[in-house]
């Protein structure tokens, strides 16, 4: 399913870049950078980014945030004919929500080996009992989407290292005695 980028249309690439910009907003809030945008007939219906920590909400994944935004604007709990672009492969929770919302097509960037439910840990959208078929395509701007995630974790590791060093260097700080 991870097709080369050339199979994606210029529109797909455009919207995935938009999703990447939303992912950056998550990173700015120290949240794992995932962004999602829902589009129909060339127009944005809704958008969102991952923010479970700041939202104290385990369901606040980018896809769910985008679905809530689109559905409340459309005043409809279903979004037929819409495409959702998300920078990272959806998890099982989001895959289920996308089926409930009757999303037509899902385009994702990079795979998520630990939690991705489209192709990595399971093939959720292909389950025969589903009463709605979602067309899924992965690998759109894959490298950029993967880099956004790895850059975030790299910088977080460096910050934690710096913090550890600083705490160690400060006399009187309780953490200085811990190893």
Asked about 63 being catalytic, the answer comes back as yes
Residue numbers 138-157 binding Zn ion by CB under 5 A: none
Among residues 142, 135, 143, which one has the least CA distance to residue 95?
Answer: 135
Task: Pick the piece of the chain touching Zn ion (CB under 5 A) from 91-99, 135-143, 153-161, 168-176.
Answer: 91-99
91 binds Zn ion (CB under 5 A): yes
Q: Which stretch binds Zn ion (CB under 5 A): 1-9, 55-63, 67-75, 170-178?
A: 55-63
**Exposure class string for 3-35: b at 16+ Cβ within 10 A, else e:** eeeeebeeebbebbbbbbebbebbbeeebbbbb
- Are 117 and 92 in contact, with CB atoms under 8 Å apart? yes
Binders of Zn ion: how many residues, by CB under 5 A? 3
How far, rounded to the nearest angstrom, does the alpha carbon of residue 80 sit from its chain's CA centroid?
Answer: 21
> Per-residue contact track with Zn ion, 59 to 88, x per CB under 5 A?
--x---------------------------
- When the beta carbons of 16 and 94 are compared against Zn ion, the nearer one is 94
Q: Which residues are within 8 A (CB) of 59 and not within 5 positions of it... i.e. 6 or more apart?
A: 52, 93
**Residue 94 makes contact with Zn ion by CB under 5 A:** yes
Q: Residue 38 in 3-state DSSP?
A: strand
The single residue of 63, 89, 112, 142 carrying the catalytic annotation is 63
Q: Which residues bind Zn ion (CB under 5 A)?
A: 61, 91, 94
Show which residues are catalytic. 63
């Amino acid at each position: 399913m991870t097709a080369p980028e050339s199979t994606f249309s210029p529109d797909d690439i455009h919207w995935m870049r938009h999703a990447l910009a939303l992912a950056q907003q998550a990173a700015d809030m120290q949240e794992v950078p995932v962004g999602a945008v829902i589009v129909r007939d060339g127009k944005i219906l809704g958008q969102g980014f991952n923010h479970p920590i700041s939202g104290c909400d385990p369901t606040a994944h980018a896809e769910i945030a985008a679905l809530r935004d689109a559905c409340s604007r459309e005043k409809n709990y279903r979004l037929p004919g819409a495409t959702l672009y998300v920078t990272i492969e959806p998890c099982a929770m989001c895959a289920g929500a996308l089926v409930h919302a009757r999303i037509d097509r899902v385009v994702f960037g990079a795979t998520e080996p630990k939690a991705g439910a489209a192709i990595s840990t399971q093939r959720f959208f292909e389950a025969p009992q589903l009463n709605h078929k979602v067309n899924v395509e992965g690998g759109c701007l894959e490298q950029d989407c993967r880099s956004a995630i790895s850059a975030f974790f790299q910088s977080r590791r460096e910050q934690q290292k710096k913090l550890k060093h600083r705490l160690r260097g400060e006399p009187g700080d309780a953490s200085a005695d811990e190893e």
